[in-house]
Amino acid sequence: MTSICLPDETARQHVQPLPDGIEVVVWDGNCSPMPAVDGVDMLVPSYGTAAPGAAVVARYSNLRVIQLLTAGVEPWLDLVPPGVVLCDGRGVHGASTAELAVAGVLSLMRELPRFRDAQLVHRWDHADADGIDGKRVLVVGAGDIGTRVAAALEALGAEVTFVARGARDGVRAVGELPQLLPLHEVVVLALPHTPDTHHLVDAAFLASMPDGAIVANVARGAIVDTEALLAELQSRRLRAFLDVVDPEPLPAEHPLWTAPNLLITPHVGGGTRGWEQRAYQLVRDQVIRLHNGEPLRNVVTDGY
């Protein structure tokens, strides 16, 4: 018998049908009374809620796998007990997050916020805007989201360069950023937040970008030094699209709200209708793999 703990009854419905020999326990880690979770093999936490304390995770005494519904895993890295495998939600939100990144870049390129402002005051403000065709785009992060962003922008005529932790065929190393940044008009951030990527986009990074360049962040807010970016925006030298910010949620009085050349969305990259079906299809596949002794997908190593 293999046992999986799901956060609610809706999740139970989404993973059905399951083969004989797989038992479902429903508990979100908070409500009482607590069901018997000591025999649970796979834990699937709720999407969009904070990671629980280590004491809650420790209640799953026979746990073998934690399957997240998010691509980011950083809140969980210190909570995974020894011998337990952590798996992320890679592939669940990739298309929708890439879609938003492309939409943000194109909105800034085609100056849609300016045209929207003109519409609100009933002004026919005809002007030529820029476009992505022929532009050089640096995609930092060569995973699911990054490759989807690249495919979409290349289809529109952009020239894409990938950057990741280490160089490989078709991918440049992070250490090459100082040489690459001055050559690219757009930078899209699609990499995990780890100690190595914290404030990767700092004052020196931004200063290396050419005038008028765009930085788009659909990864994690803390990858960008907010104060450094704010300085570049207030000088009107750079443009930015941010689906994630630091701090988050952004306080009402924060100067980013009124910064020029900036488009903000409230961390909605994965928030398209139907994500639950994609997420729990992954969960269903994973628990069947576990039950059958097959290799799991999306296993996290070194924070990725």
Kindly report which listed range (155-164, 249-258, 295-304) carries the lowest average pLDDT score: 295-304
184 counts as catalytic? no
- pLDDT band of 120, cuts 50, 70, 90: very high
What's the sign of the alpha-carbon dihedral 28, 57, 145, 189?
Answer: positive
In which element (H, E) is residue 186 found?
Answer: strand 186-189
pLDDT at 33: 63
Residue 112 predicted with pLDDT over 80:
yes
pLDDT at 109: 97
Query: Letter for the amino acid at 163?
Result: V
Are the C-beta atoms of 65 and 85 separated by less than 8 Å?
yes
pLDDT at 49: 73
Kindly report which listed range (37-46, 94-103, 249-258) carries the lowest average pLDDT score: 37-46
185 counts as catalytic? no
Rounded-to-integer distance, Cα 120 and Cα 114, Å? 10
Q: Which one of 90, 93, 165, 220 is the catalytic residue?
A: 220
Q: Which one of 148, 172, 193, 267 is the catalytic residue?
A: 267
Closest CA to 201 of 166, 267, 245: 245
Closest CA to 89 of 276, 248, 241: 276
Residue 206 predicted with pLDDT over 90:
yes
Q: How far apart are the first and last CA of the chain?
A: 30
Residue 304 predicted with pLDDT over 80:
no
Phi, psi of 57, rounded to the nearest 5 degrees: -60, -35
Q: Which one of 9, 176, 227, 248 is the catalytic residue?
A: 248
Query: Letter for the amino acid at 90?
Result: R
pLDDT at 36: 80
Task: Express each pLDDT in 21-60 by its tens digit.
Answer: 999 999 877 766 667 888 999 999 988 777 777 778 888 9
Residue 201 predicted with pLDDT over 90:
yes
Task: Express each pLDDT in 271-286 by its tens digit.
Answer: 888 889 999 999 999 9
267 counts as catalytic? yes
Distance of CA 260 to the CA centre of its chain: 25
Q: What one-character-per-residue DSSP string does 40-107 give? A: -SEE-PPTTSPPPPHHHHHT-TT--EEE-SSS--GGGTTTPPTTPEEE--TTTSHHHHHHHHHHHHHH
Q: How many other CB atoms are found less than 10 A from the CB of residue 15?
A: 22
Q: Specify the pTM.
A: 0.90
Domains and their CATH numbers in the chain: 2-92+273-292 (3.40.50.720), 94-264 (3.40.50.720)
Q: How far is residue 186 from each of residues 81, 112, 243, measured CA to CA in Å?
A: 40, 17, 16
Position with higher pLDDT, 79 vs 106: 106
